[in-house]
Amino acid sequence: MIDNLLVGSLILLVLSIFATVFRLVKGPSAPDRIQALDCLGINLIAGVAIFSVLLRNTGFFEVILLIGILSFIGTIAFARYIERGVVIERKQSD
């Protein structure tokens, strides 16, 4: 019962990852693609969590934390690049 539910939710997550990849490839504008990448990272976090329950193993929690942090930093960097053309702004000294 429990294992069947876990495998079913993994299948649902795989379907939703396919949907985000579709949006990532097709997306008409660049913010669409960034949004899809962010969503992909979040779905990946959920997938790793389900996998750790399926294996009864606590070793995957660092992976969850790291994917969360890296996906957030990547999204912020891409969005700033699209908005202003630079990632890190430096003060111009006269």
Partner 1 sequence: MSENNPIELIAVLLIFFGAIFCFLSSLGLIRLPDVYTRSHAASKGSTMGVLFTLVGTFVFFIIEGTFSIRLFLGIFFVFLTSPVASHVVVRSAYRSKVKLADVTVQDDLKAEMEEEGIETIEVHHK
What is the binding site for partner 1 (CB under 8 A)? 1-3, 5-6, 8-10, 12-13, 15-17, 19-20, 22-23, 29-32, 34-36, 38-39, 42-43, 45-46, 49-50, 52-53, 56, 58, 61-62, 64-65, 68-69, 71-72, 75-76, 79-80, 82-83
Q: How far is the CB of 15 from partner 1 (least distance, A)?
A: 6
**Residue 71: partners with Cβ closer than 8 Å, 6 or more residues away:** 37, 38, 41, 42, 44, 45
* Residue 13 backbone dihedrals phi, psi, to 5 degrees: -65, -40
**Single-letter residue type at 32:** D
